[in-house]
Structure 1
Amino acid sequence: MKSFKVTDFNAPLTEVDEPTPQPFGKQVLIKVKAAGVCHSDLHIWEGGYDLGHGRKPLSLKDRGVSLPRTMGHESAGEIVAFGPEVTEVEKGGLKVGDVALVYPWIGCGTCATCLAGDENMCLKPASLGVYCDGGYADHMTVPHPRHLIDLKGLDPVTTAPYACSGVTTYSALKKVEKDFDSPIVIFGAGGLGLMALSLLKAMGGKGAIVVDIDARKREAALAAGALAAVDGKAPDALEQLAKAAGEPIRAVIDLVGNPATAQLGFDCLTKGGKLVMVGLFGGGAPWALPLIPIKAVTIQGSYVGNLRETKELLDLVRTKHIPSIPVTPMPLAKANDALHELQKGQLVGRAVLTP
């Protein structure tokens, strides 16, 4: 089995050849057909998050991310073998040869949070590609067949990003669904932003104004159906947002998550509005504290999504025939190149490794 592993933070990925694992217990072995390269992978690769205000960066090593680690949490592949303890009921109709999306946001499986179906919020995460090996490989093991969703003919290359960028944006959109009768504002026109535009339309939303500092990405957002695209660095960005909306802005989704986007997102909201923070770019909160109660604004974090939401999302993709976001297929051997291109902001849409 060939894989590309983080063997040291901020160092090139290491190509590793080792025996293909055999599934034991409830595990499932899949042959990887697609592995999306996500912005979160950059943080894993770099080893942490910038917390701003001169604070010590949040270390992933201190949070239990051990090396070496095979990244890749947006994975889809063909089922090769089931572990000996997997029952027919647990397979849920899946069989060898089926192509499935891997749900990666796995928890301990036994706590109240996991049992309630919110494994992504477990305090003892075992997320694939983060705490356990993921899809930057030609094979990977999945702990249990319940974490596999049959693609039923969907293209694994264009569908793989739904495991993170897709369910992340879907879950964030659901948090502002009551405001879909008005334009919402979305910060970031990368893979998540373009995904959000497609999903918003399928979910019945009026539309979104997209903010991005990259002209190419603003053009991509307009091509994907954005009502307007605003340069976040423009001196009159706030006025442009108000004019484009034509009414009070009640909902903002920040897919970037830096002080500038958080501030502009907060400022453009009307009283009683909601700011959903998704992006992990880093930095410290910029808001003047008295204005939070004065504006009665809700600031809510949104972290990926649960398995139920992922299944809902794939059903939505099938029934609404949602067009895929732009993807750039790259061979597994180009994993380092894909990360560098993403780091430099050179990708429109999503790079997807194809072992």
Structure 2
Amino acid sequence: MKSFKVAAFNAPLQEIDEPTPQPGGMQVLIKVRAAGVCHSDLHIWEGGYELGHGRKPLSLKDRGVSLPRTMGHETVGEVVAFGPDVKNSDRGGLKVGDVALVYPWLGCGKCPTCLAGDENMCLKPASLGVYCDGGYADYMTVPHPKYLLNLEGFDPVAAAPYACSGVTTYSALKKVEKDFDTPIVIFGAGGLGLMALSLLKAMGGKGAIVVDIDARKREAAEQAGALATVDGKAPDALEQLIRKAGEPIRAVIDLVGNAATAQLGFDCLTKGGKLVIVGLFGGGAPWALPLIPIKAITIQGSYVGNLRETQELLDLVRAKKIPPIPVTTMPLAKANDALTDLQKGKLVGRAVLTP
């Protein structure tokens, strides 16, 4: 099979030809139909995260990410074969030839966190495409059939982003669901931001004001149903947010996660508001500490979502017939170009590789 691997940080992916793996134990072999290119892939490719305040960057090597590594955690594949230990009762109705979304945010599977269904929060992560090989390949093995969610009725390419941008935004939105009767603020109008707008409407939210420094992405957000948009670099961005909201802002979801967005997100919140940080662009916390208790602000991180939430998301998309976000399809051989385009901010929506 062919795969594209990170062999060295900040270096082009290497095209590798190797034998197609055979599934062992409870594994499932899939033929990859689509693999989304996520901003998190950039951090893996680049090797770390900026922490700001003069701190040493957080190295992915120090987090246990070893090379070479086949990236790709937004993967859709066709079931090719089950491992010898997989019984019919383990398959969840899946059979050879079915097309499924791969849930990638795996943990150790044994600790109390994993057993409670929150593998994405495990202290010994084994995420596919991060700690284990992922979908930038012709074929991929999945550790257990339970991590394959049937995509009957879905377009494989359009569905691939649900494994990350979809479940990430769904989980973040659930954290501010009590404030859906007022406009919320969303920072970032890339793949996650556009997904969040669609999901917010389907979940019964009043709507969102979207902040982005890219005029093309603000336009895409308006077309996707944003109540209004704001240029985050505008000198009066805070005043615009408050005016366009028309009422106190109680919830902000920051899908960018840098010092500027975190500061503006914090500043626009009313007393008792909540700032949910999802993005990993990097930097240091910018807030004046006394203002956190004075404003009684809740600052919460949100890291992807669990398997249950991913199934809830697919059920919601089916029930509400949520339209997919814009997708740019590129052949697997163009994986390096896709990463470069994402790095330079050229993409609107999501790039999806198709072997």
Q: Which TM-score tier does this pair reach, normalised by the shorter chain?
A: over 0.9
Q: Which residue in 1 is equivalent to 2:65?
A: 65
Superposed CA RMSD: 0.3
Offset at 1:47?
0.4
Q: Which residue in 2 is equivalent to 1:102?
A: 102
| 1:137-185 alpha-carbon deviations (Å, 9 max, x no partner) | 0100000000000001201100000000000000000000000000000
Is the aligned partner of 1:77 residue 2:77? yes
Q: Secondary structure at the match of 1:197?
A: helix
Q: Distance in 2 between matches of 1:183 and 1:139?
A: 43
Q: Distance in 2 between matches of 1:86 and 1:131?
A: 24
Q: Distance in 1 between matches of 2:243 and 2:211?
A: 14
Number of residue pairs matched by the alignment: 355
Q: Which residue in 1 is equivalent to 2:289?
A: 289
| 1:51-85 alpha-carbon deviations (Å, 9 max, x no partner) | 00000000000111000000000000100000000
Q: Which residue in 2 is equivalent to 1:40?
A: 40
Is the aligned partner of 1:185 residue 2:206? no
After TM superposition, list the pairs within 5 Å mapping 1:305-320 onto structure 2.
305-320=305-320
After TM superposition, list the pairs within 5 Å mapping 1:243-262 onto structure 2.
243-262=243-262
| 1:170-207 alpha-carbon deviations (Å, 9 max, x no partner) | 00000000000000000000000000000000000000
Taking structure 2 as the reference length, the TM-score comes to 1.00
Q: Secondary structure at the match of 1:216?
A: helix
Q: Secondary structure at the match of 1:328?
A: strand
Q: Which residue in 2 is equivalent to 1:217?
A: 217
Q: Secondary structure at the match of 2:162?
A: helix
| 1:290-322 alpha-carbon deviations (Å, 9 max, x no partner) | 000000000000000000000000000000000
Query: Which runs of structure 1 show a deviation greater than 3 angstroms over 4 or more consecutive aligned residues?
Result: none
After TM superposition, list the pairs within 5 Å mapping 1:65-144 onto structure 2.
65-144=65-144
Q: Which residue in 1 is equivalent to 2:15?
A: 15
Q: Which residue in 1 is equivalent to 2:272?
A: 272
| 1:99-149 alpha-carbon deviations (Å, 9 max, x no partner) | 000000000000000000000000000000000000000100000000000
Identity of aligned residues (%): 87
Is the aligned partner of 1:146 residue 2:170? no
Q: Distance in 2 between matches of 1:243 and 1:207?
A: 15
Q: Distance in 1 between matches of 2:248 and 2:50?
A: 32
| 1:218-238 alpha-carbon deviations (Å, 9 max, x no partner) | 000000000000000001101
Q: Distance in 2 between matches of 1:62 and 1:248?
A: 42
Offset at 1:266?
0.1
Q: Secondary structure at the match of 1:19?
A: coil
Q: Distance in 1 between matches of 2:67 and 2:90?
A: 31
Q: Distance in 2 between matches of 1:273 and 1:143?
A: 40
Q: Distance in 1 between matches of 2:301 and 2:45?
A: 23
Q: Distance in 1 between matches of 2:148 and 2:106?
A: 12
Q: Which residue in 1 is equivalent to 2:231?
A: 231
Q: Which residue in 1 is equivalent to 2:322?
A: 322
Q: Secondary structure at the match of 1:16?
A: strand
Q: Distance in 2 between matches of 1:243 and 1:325?
A: 28
After TM superposition, list the pairs within 5 Å mapping 1:186-201 onto structure 2.
186-201=186-201
Q: Secondary structure at the match of 1:351?
A: strand
Letter of the 1:218 partner, please give it.
Answer: R
Q: Distance in 1 between matches of 2:274 and 2:48?
A: 27
Q: Secondary structure at the match of 2:113?
A: helix
Q: Distance in 2 between matches of 1:107 and 1:156?
A: 25
Taking structure 1 as the reference length, the TM-score comes to 1.00
Q: Which residue in 2 is equivalent to 1:29?
A: 29
